């Protein structure tokens, strides 16, 4: 049996868990309406009053974060294609993919409407960046269905943290509310994906641990195709909205603990090796974070 076939079979085995996680999600999540949060009363005509940076009310690094988060949300067609495409059309995951995509769709609507009404981004540049981003597309880098759940668990948690921190650092009550609503959604989605991984771990720990190593050891957020991604990511890292330390302490470590990776027993040889490697990931990330922080501190001094 190929790895993908084995993984698909595992996903099929946990289909009752997927259904019950989806039911709980439907009960727990209350839909919200972006138009009730966006400050339409601030909106002005860009034809008569073109955008100028002096109109912005949020600091530059936070605006960078808001725009990067928005462009990442704009790539939803690719996330849908990769996730829905990995599962059979009549499966519970096909149903979830539809629901998840519908809910995710509001994120870019809400953030864009906030940025345009509050004049916290250059609208022309934003549209150019969106065109460039979506034309380039995105590949998840994984085709294995188990990898997709593990990657998406980490990615939804990471976006929850990043959206929330951007909202907090904006120091603007409306920006905070918009980003918090989006972050709450990401949390609901995160709970779903994490729950599927938990169920799969119960059924096939060795297979899932091998996948967790693949995903967590080389994790990168979607968005690397966005123009000037590296420069923007560094700016955001310096603000503390999202950086290696946040990734290690608020994403990787909580996941490893939640899934009790250290305590898993009866793993096959390769999975036992993977388990050991996974237990070292947080430490390695923190070391890299310390180097980055020292570099920034030296530059600030100089
Ligand atoms: Fe989202
Ligand atoms: Fe999400």
Q: Measure 96 CA to ligand 2 centroid, in angstroms.
A: 13
Q: What is the pLDDT of residues 26-41, one digit of tens each?
A: 999 999 999 999 999 9
pLDDT of amino acid 141: 83
Token couple for 156: 């939804």
- pLDDT above 90: residue 3: no
Q: What is the pLDDT of residues 163-177, one digit of tens each?
A: 999 999 999 999 999
Nearest ligand to the CA of 70 is: 1
Least confident of 78-87, 106-115, 199-208: 78-87
- pLDDT above 70: residue 84: yes
Q: Measure 106 CA to ligand 2 centroid, in angstroms.
A: 11
Q: Measure 164 CA to ligand 1 centroid, in angstroms.
A: 12
Q: Measure 69 CA to ligand 1 centroid, in angstroms.
A: 9
Q: How big, in percent rounded to 5, are the helix, strand and coil portions of the chain?
A: 75, 0, 25
Q: Measure 182 CA to ligand 1 centroid, in angstroms.
A: 7
Q: Measure 185 CA to ligand 2 centroid, in angstroms.
A: 7
Boundaries of domain holding 202: 3-46+53-301
Q: Quick one: DSSP state of residue 29?
A: P
Max Cα-Cα span within the chain: 69
Q: Which residues contact 18 (CB under 8 A, 6 or more apart)?
A: 11, 92, 93, 96, 196, 199
Q: Measure 185 CA to ligand 1 centroid, in angstroms.
A: 7
pLDDT of amino acid 142: 84
Helix ranges, the chain (H)? 3-13, 15-28, 60-74, 76-85, 92-117, 123-136, 145-169, 173-203, 205-217, 229-239, 244-246, 253-258, 269-301
Query: 58 in helix, strand or coil?
Result: coil
Nearest ligand to the CA of 181 is: 1
Contact between residue 182 and residue 34 where contact means Cβ atoms under 8 Å apart: no
Q: Measure 107 CA to ligand 1 centroid, in angstroms.
A: 5
Q: Measure 194 CA to ligand 2 centroid, in angstroms.
A: 13
Nearest ligand to the CA of 163 is: 1
Q: Measure 74 CA to ligand 1 centroid, in angstroms.
A: 9
Q: Measure 159 CA to ligand 2 centroid, in angstroms.
A: 6
Nearest ligand to the CA of 72 is: 1
Q: What is the mean pLDDT of residues 217-239?
A: 93
0.85 exceeded by pTM = yes
Q: Measure 270 CA to ligand 1 centroid, in angstroms.
A: 34
pLDDT of amino acid 1: 58
Q: Measure 155 CA to ligand 2 centroid, in angstroms.
A: 7
CATH code for the domain in which residue 271 is found:
1.10.620.20
* Residue 100 vs residues 55, 96, 116, 178, 248: alpha-carbon distances, Å: 35, 6, 25, 19, 26
Q: Measure 239 CA to ligand 2 centroid, in angstroms.
A: 22
Q: Residue 2: pLDDT band by 50, 70, 90 thresholds?
A: low
For the chain, list the strands marked E by DSSP.
none
Q: What is the mean pLDDT of residues 112-137?
A: 97
Number of separate domains in the chain: 1
């Amino acid at each position: 049996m190929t790895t993908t076939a084995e993984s698909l079979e595992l996903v099929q085995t946990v289909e009752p868990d997927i259904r019950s996680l989806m039911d709980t999600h439907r009960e727990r999540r209350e839909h919200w309406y972006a138009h009730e949060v966006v400050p339409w009363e601030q909106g002005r005509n860009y034809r008569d009053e073109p955008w100028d940076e002096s109109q912005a009310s949020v600091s530059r690094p936070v605006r960078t974060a808001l725009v990067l988060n928005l462009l990442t949300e704009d790539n939803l067609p690719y996330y849908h294609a990769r996730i829905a495409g990995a599962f059979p059309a009549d499966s519970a995951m096909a149903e979830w993919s539809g629901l998840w995509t519908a809910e995710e769709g509001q994120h870019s609507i809400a953030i864009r409407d906030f940025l345009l009404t509050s004049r916290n981004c250059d609208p022309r540049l934003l549209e150019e960046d969106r065109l460039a981003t979506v034309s380039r597309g995105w590949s998840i880098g994984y085709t294995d269905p188990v990898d997709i759940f593990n990657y998406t668990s980490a990615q939804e948690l990471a976006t929850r943290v990043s959206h929330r921190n951007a909202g907090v650092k904006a120091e603007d009550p409306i920006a905070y509310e918009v980003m918090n609503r989006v972050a709450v959604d990401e949390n609901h989605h995160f709970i779903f994906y994490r729950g599927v991984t938990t169920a799969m771990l119960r059924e096939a720990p060795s297979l899932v641990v091998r996948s967790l190593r693949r995903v967590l050891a080389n994790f990168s957020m979607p968005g690397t195709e966005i123009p000037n991604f590296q420069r923007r990511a560094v700016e955001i890292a310096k603000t503390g909205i999202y950086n290696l330390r946040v990734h290690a302490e608020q994403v990787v470590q909580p996941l490893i603990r939640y899934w009790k990776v250290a305590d898993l027993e009866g793993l096959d040889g390769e999975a036992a090796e993977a388990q050991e490697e996974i237990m070292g990931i947080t430490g390695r990330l923190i070391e890299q974070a310390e180097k980055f922080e020292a570099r920034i501190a030296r530059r600030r001094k100089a």
